[in-house]
């Protein structure tokens, strides 16, 4: 899961970065509205945490332009101005949720989990595919109800494949979903992560199929 934080208060932004990265998310951060607009136009994210009081371009305008491009990415608005009018305007422009500053990090993380589930069209915190399951809250994977020991990167990779189970996922899409700006991850590195994950999950009727030159697909093996 990849998240963009658009927040000009660097102390707050750093706290959010540490908290969300510790929860297993890939997180990028910008400090102005123009940077947020450019990032959202150029990259795909699973969630946007958007401060309204951004310099150079107001958060409402960032949101207006985002929805104008047809993007349905979930947006959680942060603002120090907790008026009914501000909430209504943000929601009418296409925001999915609203939090007033100051807020609890624990509550924010719970809302992040809820919004990312909603973005995937699921109400459950657990993603399943055959005997394979992933608990997005506890960030734990199971196969045949037995916990699998996975690294943080392997867990994130599995989460992406499970979200798109039965569909092809390219290496470029995996890099886009797993890696933050400035993080150098080659296609060869993706192959290594896939190889390690395969060894740990292909003990039941599931497999990660390779479509040469195109990418990977998590699929069930017919019995």
The CA distance from 201 to 125, in Å, is 20
CATH number for the domain running over 126-220:
1.10.10.10
- Say if residue 161's pLDDT is above 70: yes
pLDDT (0 to 100) of residue 120: 59
**DSSP alpha helices (H): ranges in the chain?**
10-22, 33-42, 59-68, 84-92, 105-119, 152-163, 171-178, 187-201
Q: Give the model confidence (pLDDT) of 130-152 as tens digits.
A: 888 888 777 888 888 888 898 88
The CA distance from 85 to 156, in Å, is 38
The CA distance from 218 to 168, in Å, is 8
| Residue 18 token pair | 């540490």
Averaged pLDDT for residues 67-79: 92
* Same fold across 2-119 and 126-220: no
CATH number for the domain running over 2-119:
3.40.50.2300
Averaged pLDDT for residues 99-112: 89
Q: Give the model confidence (pLDDT) of 20-38 as tens digits.
A: 988 888 899 999 999 999 9
- Kindly report the pTM of this predicted structure: 0.73
210: β partners = 216
Burial of 77 (0-12, 13-18, 19+ CB in 10 A): buried
**Per-domain boundaries in the chain:** 2-119, 126-220
pLDDT (0 to 100) of residue 37: 97
4: β partners = 28, 48
Return the C-alpha torsion angle 72, 76, 82, 87, nearest 10.
20
Q: What integer best gives the mean pLDDT of the chain?
A: 86
- Say if residue 123's pLDDT is above 60: no
Averaged pLDDT for residues 106-126: 77
The CA distance from 181 to 132, in Å, is 30
| Residue 107 token pair | 């509550």
- Say if residue 82's pLDDT is above 70: no
| Residue 134 token pair | 């992933």
The CA distance from 54 to 56, in Å, is 7
pLDDT (0 to 100) of residue 223: 56
Averaged pLDDT for residues 169-186: 79
């Amino acid at each position: 899961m990849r998240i963009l934080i658009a927040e000009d208060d660097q102390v707050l932004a750093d706290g959010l970065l540490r908290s969300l990265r510790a929860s297993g998310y890939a997180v990028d951060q910008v400090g102005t509205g123009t940077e947020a607009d450019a990032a959202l136009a150029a990259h795909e994210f699973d969630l946007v945490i958007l401060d309204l009081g951004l310099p150079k371009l107001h958060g409402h305008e960032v949101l207006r332009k985002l929805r104008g491009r047809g993007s349905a990415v979930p947006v959680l608005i942060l603002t120090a101005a907790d008026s009914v009018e501000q909430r209504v305007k943000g929601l009418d422009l296409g925001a999915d949720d609203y939090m007033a500053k100051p807020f609890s990090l624990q509550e924010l993380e719970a809302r992040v989990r809820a919004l990312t589930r909603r973005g995937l069209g699921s109400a459950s915190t657990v993603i399943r595919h055959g005997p394979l399951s992933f608990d997005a809250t506890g960030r734990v994977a199971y196969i045949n109800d037995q916990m699998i020991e996975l690294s943080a990167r392997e867990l994130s990779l599995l989460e992406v494949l499970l979200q798109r189970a039965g569909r092809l996922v390219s290496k470029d899409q995996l890099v886009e979903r797993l890696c933050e700006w400035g993080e150098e991850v080659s296609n060869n590195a993706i192959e290594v992560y896939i190889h390690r994950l395969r060894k740990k999950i292909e003990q039941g009727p599931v497999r990660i199929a390779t479509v040469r030159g195109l990418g990977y697909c998590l699929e069930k093996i017919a019995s």
